[in-house]
Structure formats: structure tokens, C-alpha cells
Chains A and B, each alone.
Chain A
Amino acid sequence: MGLKYVLKKFGIFILFVWAALSLTFILVHLMPGDPAYVLATVYMQQWNIKFEEAYKMAQESLAWDPTKPIWIRYVEYFANLLKGNLGESIVYRESINKIVAKSIPWTIFIGSISLFLAYMIGIYLGSYAAWRRGKASDTSIFSLGIVLSSFPSFVMAVFILIFLGVKFKLIPLGGAYSEWIDPGFTPEFIGSVLYHAIGPVIALSAENIAIYILGMRNSAVSVIQEDFVNFAVMRGLKNKTISRKYVRKPAILPLITNLAASVGFLFGGATLAETIFRYPGIGYQFGTALGMRDYPLIVGLFTVQILAVLIAMFFIELIYPLVDPRARER
């Protein structure tokens, strides 16, 4: 894989970053809705002040001077981003960078575990079902997939919280770790972290596992009908070899390209699941920021999410030719 290929993909990546961020800018600054108005209503409720005062406060906090021409605001927007400055949160009066830095590790933690689980379980069960298509095990795995995929992350989160947390008291009801333990690399802390991660991870994974089960099953069913699988059977290859090298391997390929989309999907799910479990990840911050109309924080977190998805996409574009020989350029 040559340097030229990497550079080309990187160039496309930068282009996409620019386009996505511009789109965000358009959404935030050019939309008919008036953020200051909404923020003002929040202030009014919070501090019991009259609307005019609240509105003035809102305009000040937003630091988006509506009098400056659009293109200056556009340039400023990018200038800030390039400096790595996401701005300051209205509510916390903290640098958004700091907020991101302390919350994103938690999301990455539960996100990667759930993605990993989804992949492993989904791919194994999916190809198992495809191989025994039409038989009882296929129907049951497929039904499991359908049921699981009907539990979006927040539904699953509430469900688990109620059953495992409230009713049977098996998992903690919130937070990333027990408050009385000091953070550090102690076994107690790590244990507590893992214990508190159970709920959020299950909530996030359920839907993803279903997607991978069903996705892999469809992909594998398609692959099984390919000529090369039939030819493998005619060559007298063992079922184990065929299901591994001739079915699973080609069938996974379309799922890999979906990984980037999965990352985007995870953020959506994390927003809800983390809110329910009060798990201090970036989703929780996003959820609370939305509720309080903390616009700079909302936009900042949104930007981070976009960047994360784009980075994942870039990464996968680089890796994919390693996995699929047909994608290699000679």
C-alpha cells in the first residue's frame, strides 16, 4: 500500500472534515430557529427574570455576535477549531476541551467493549445461523436478533435498570464508579469501574449485537450461494474449513465497511444510555447540555462526535485493503 494511497485518502478525509464542519456551521448559524430565544426561556425559568433581561444574557453568553457578517463568523469558527479550541460552556464555565477530555474516555471505554461484543457475538451467531439456514437453530437465532434489535439503547437501558438494578439489585443504578473509592489503578477501583460498566455496556450492545447477527446472517447466506463455496464443497473440503475460510471470511467484508457507521450509531445510543445510567461519558454531557440549551457545549460535543466518526472512517479506509484483496491497487 503506497504512500500515494494514504495521502489520497488523507486528502479525502480532510475534505470531509471541512464539509461536515461547514454543514454544522450552517445548521447552527443559519437556521431559522433562534437559539438566543430558547436560551432566554431557560434563563427565565432558572433565575426568575424578565424576558428582555434573559434575552440579553442569552445573547452575551452565546458569544455569537449576530451583527458580524456571516463569512467572518465562518472564518472565526474554523480559526478556533484549528487552534483546537472548542469554546467555553455556558453552564459550567469551563473550557469545552476539558469537558471532552474528562468524559470521552468513559464513552470510549463502554463503546469499544460493546462494539467488540457486538462483533464477536454477532458474527459468530450470524454465520452459525446462516450455515444452518431454515433449521431450528437458525429460526431461534434470527428471532433473537429481531427481538434484540427492537430494544434501542435507551429502552434497553431503562429495562436493565429496572430489572437488574432496581428489582434484583444486581447492578448499580448509576455513575461510573462508586463514589467512596478513590480513582487509581487499584483493584477496587478497577473492579468498581467494571461493575458500573455492566449496565451501560449491555444497553449499548443489545441493539448492535442484533444488527451484527442479522447483518452477518444475511451476508453469510448470500456468500453461501456463491459459486466458490459450491466449488469448495465439490473439492471435498471439510465443513469447518468452508465455514471459516469460504463463508465467514468473505461475509465479514461488508460488515467492516459498516464499522464507521457503527461508531456514529454508538454515539447516538450513548447519548441516551449514558443519560439513563448517569454515566459520565460524552453522551451524558451531550444529553444534559441539550436539556439546558448550553449551545456552545452542544456544538462542541457534536463537533467531537463528527470528528470521531470521520477518524474511524479514515482508519477503516486504510485497513480495508489489507483485508479484502480485491480492494488493493496494483
Chain B
Amino acid sequence: MEVSMEKGRNKGDSRKKLKKVYTTYIRPLFMNRKSLLGLIILTGFFIMGIFGPLIVPLNMESDISKRFLPPSKEHILGTDYFGIDIFAQIVHGTWSVLVLAFLPSIFAILMAISIGITAGYLKGILGRIVNGIIDVFMTVPSFPAMLLMAAMFKSVNIVFAAFLMSIWMWAGPAKMIRARVYSIRSMEFVEAAELLEMPKSHIIFKEITPHLMPYIFMQFVNMIKYSVGASQGLMFLGLLKFNPCHWGAMLNIAVTQTGSIYLPFAIHYPLSIIFFIVLMLIGCTLLSYGVEEIFNPKLRTYE
């Protein structure tokens, strides 16, 4: 491991670094079958979320005469209780779903990294207290806690919702990060850096963090999947209703408010929603397992 004493950087260095990031993290994603498939699915959703609303118009006016029309050329997935095109709603809700998947994960991973590294690096009582806090957050069941908190606020916007979710998502990854920092810390090269009296920030960023990146990456991908599921659940119970086209909100309307699941001729409505939820989750799961295979050598197969 190079210990660079120079503070200056030249262009060649940063280009090399970028290339290294590419080969270590990005390229393997394309080479592993599972992660590639997951990426394709998620990219598809991104395209749907960004460009879909531009292509597919959404008319939220209720037209009861068109209630529960089965799938047809005009309405690809049919219409819902209010006569509104289902596919259009799904497309317009995609962006909400994606944001509510990535944003909480970003918040949570940042929290997990900072608290996790701190906990792993601090010694003595302070370290134990921080560790204890992590443990307490871990024992509280996340989803019920999110529900509890969501129920207390009158109205939320998407960023606040993301933050609310992230509070209950950082603990598990933080614990993992802490464990890793703890074990890396006692390795020789960190001791060497400490003996050389390198500044603490240098030790943390240059020596320890590179070893953490694979785990952080894995946790991040797992969080995305969890967020998709949790956000659907939160909306399903009617708790974060800022966008009626979010798939969870759609399910809420379908199941609790209109009782469409009990009507045999209306099943295309909830089923379409479910299809997309499951598809996105499959994409996330594939990506997550692909990433785990890449960074955990024990799981690799020799292809």
C-alpha cells in the first residue's frame, strides 16, 4: 500500500484513479450475469421513470363509465376503479418509487459509514456507547418503527419521507462496517501508519476506507431493495400519500379503498401493480446477489 506524502495531485493521477474505480467496481457488474441482469432491469425502470411521463400522458379525471376496463389496445393494462388508465399511472409513479428507493439508501449509507467508522475507531467507553446505540437501533423492528413515525406527521414531502426511512436502515450496515473497521484497524499497516504518526484523517480515508468500499457497496445495494419494499408498505397503509401514482399508493387504493381485489373481473388492476413491484424487486435482488458474488470470493463460481 503506498503511503503518499504529497499533497498535490496531477491530472494523470486522477485519471488513473478513475480507471481503477471503473475496473474494480463498475466493470465486474457487467461481467457477472446476475448483476448485469439486475442492472438492465433497473436501468429500464429509470428510463421508464424519466422518459415515460413524457411519452405516456396521464389523465387523472375520473370517468366511471370506463371503470375496470380490461387490457386493450387503448389501455395497455386496463383501467382502474375511477376509469383512469393503469399503465399511465404506473409510469408516472415510477420516478417516485425510484427516488424513495435511492434517497433513503443514500442517507442511510452516509449515516452508517460515519457512525460505523467512528464506532470502530473509538476505543474505550465512548466506543462501547456508540456501539450500544447501534445495537439498540438494530433491535427495534425497522418497519413498525417507520410506520410509527410516519403516523405522527401531518404531511410529508418525499425528502422527509426518505429521511424518516433512513433512520431505521443505517443500523445493520453500521454494525458491519464497525466490525470491519475494528478488524482492519488491528492489521499491521494501520499500526504502521499510526506509528508514523500520520494524521487520523489520512489513516481513515486512505488506509481503512479502501478496504471498506466493497462492503459499503454491497450494503447500499441491499438497502435499495429494502427501501422499495418498505416504501410500498408505508404507502399501502396510507401513511405517506404524497403521490397517488406511487405503486404502493395505487395498491392502497386498489385494495383498501376500492376493494378491487374481491372482484374477479377487476383483478387486472392489482395484478398489474404487483407485476411491476415484483419486477423491480427482482432487479434489485439480482443486482444485490451479483454484487455479493463479486466481492465475496467464496461465492464465486469458475465460469
Touch between A and B in complex, CB under 8 Å?
yes
User: 19 A-B contacts, Cβ less than 8 Å apart?
Assistant: A19-B136, A20-B139, A27-B152, A38-B152, A134-B301, A149-B281, A150-B284, A152-B281, A161-B261, A162-B271, A166-B267, A221-B299, A268-B143, A272-B236, A290-B147, A290-B148, A291-B238, A295-B151, A309-B140
Give the tally of cross-chain contacts (CB within 8 A).
150
In the assembled complex, the CB of B268 is this many whole angstroms from the nearest CB of chain A, namely: 10
Interface residues of B (CB under 8 A from A): 132, 135-145, 147-149, 151-154, 229, 232-233, 236-239, 251, 255-256, 261-264, 267, 270-271, 274, 277-279, 281-282, 284-286, 289, 292, 298-299, 301
In the assembled complex, the CB of A60 is this many whole angstroms from the nearest CB of chain B, namely: 18
Assess whether A38 is in contact with B151, with CB atoms less than 8 Å apart.
yes
Q: Binary interface profile of A, 300-318, with partner B (CB < 8 Å = 1, else 0)? A: 0010011001100100000
A residues 264-308 touching B (CB-CB < 8 Å): 264-265, 267-269, 271-272, 275-276, 286-287, 290-291, 293, 295, 298-299, 302, 305-306
Contacts A33-B152, A150-B281, A152-B281 given; indicate if A306 touches B139 (C-beta within 8 A).
yes
- Main secondary structure on A side of the interface with B: helix
In the assembled complex, the CB of A175 is this many whole angstroms from the nearest CB of chain B, namely: 13
Flag whether A23 is at the interface (Cβ < 8 A).
yes
Distance between Cα atoms of A107 and B84 in the complex (Å): 37
Distance between Cα atoms of A69 and B165 in the complex (Å): 29
Assess whether B282 is in contact with A150, with CB atoms less than 8 Å apart.
yes
Assess whether A20 is in contact with B136, with CB atoms less than 8 Å apart.
yes
The 5 closest A-B pairs by CB, nearest first: A268-B143, A150-B281, A264-B141, A33-B153, A33-B152
Assess whether A34 is in contact with B154, with CB atoms less than 8 Å apart.
yes
Distance between Cα atoms of A34 and B154 in the complex (Å): 7
In the assembled complex, the CB of B51 is this many whole angstroms from the nearest CB of chain A, namely: 24
Distance between Cα atoms of A162 and B262 in the complex (Å): 7
Chain A interface size, as a band, is 35 or more
Contacts A154-B236, A155-B274, A264-B141 given; indicate if A167 touches B267 (C-beta within 8 A).
yes
Q: Specify the chain B residue showing the minimal Cβ separation from A169.
A: B264
Assess whether A271 is in contact with B237, with CB atoms less than 8 Å apart.
yes
Assess whether B147 is in contact with A265, with CB atoms less than 8 Å apart.
no
Assess whether B148 is in contact with A151, with CB atoms less than 8 Å apart.
no
Which one of B151, B236, B286 lies within 8 Å of A298 (CB-CB)? B151
Assess whether B237 is in contact with A290, with CB atoms less than 8 Å apart.
yes
